[in-house]
Structure 1
Amino acid sequence: MTVQQIEKFIALHPKGASGSVTISFKTRKNVQGVFIQTPDYEELKKKNFWRIVMSPNLDDYIRTKSLSHARIFNGLEFSKLSIP
């Protein structure tokens, strides 16, 4: 997916129905997570990279705000974004 497609989805569904988004990939299993905005968000976005906290790690991330709970994904690997 392109940066514009991902930005449009995030703008239309900023938190999703349950706070998370289902991300479908071209070459791996789907994941559920939340896009997070960190100080490097704009820099990563320019390169079509996105920092995502997976649903199982979300409570720990909310409690600690530690970026160790997040992973960076390349938007070109996304095939579809949807609300679970």
Structure 2
Amino acid sequence: MTVEQIETFLAKETVPQGKIIRFEMKKRNPVRGLIVKGRDYNELKGKNFWRIVTQTHLAEYSKSQNINLAKIFSGTEFAKLSLVSNKAED
């Protein structure tokens, strides 16, 4: 996906309480989590990279706001974004 496609999704979809984003990938299993805005958000976005806190680290991130819990993913690997509930993958 392009930066514009991802930004359009983020602008259009507000992530309500209890929901997270499912990132469908082109060449690997989907990832569930949230995009976080660190100090380098605009720099990463300009290169189509996104800092994502995965579902396994969300509880810890919400307590500590530790940006080191996030991983950086390339937006070109995203095939589709969708909102899903924050529960274990079926």
Structure 1 14/70 Cα, relative in aligned 2: closer, same or farther at 3 Å? same
Q: Helix, strand or coil: the match of 1:10?
A: helix
Aligned-residue offset at 1:31: 1.1
Moved runs in structure 1, 4+ residues, more than 6 A? none
1:16 CA drift (Å): 4.8
Task: Give unmatched runs, 5+ long, in structure 1.
Answer: none
Distance 1:71 1:2, change over 3 A: same
What is the root-mean-square deviation in Å for CA atoms of aligned residues? 1.2
Residue of structure 2 in register with 1:33 after alignment:
33
Matched, 1:14 2:14: yes
Distance in 1 of aligned mates of 2:3 and 2:16: 18
Aligned to 1:46: 46
The separation in 1 between residues aligned to 2:17 and 2:79, in whole angstroms, is 20
Instruction: Say if 2:25 and 2:78, in contact at 8 Å, map to a contact too.
Output: yes
TM-score (ref. length: structure 2):
0.87
Q: Which letter does structure 1 place at the counterpart of 2:67?
A: L
Sequence identity percentage: 42
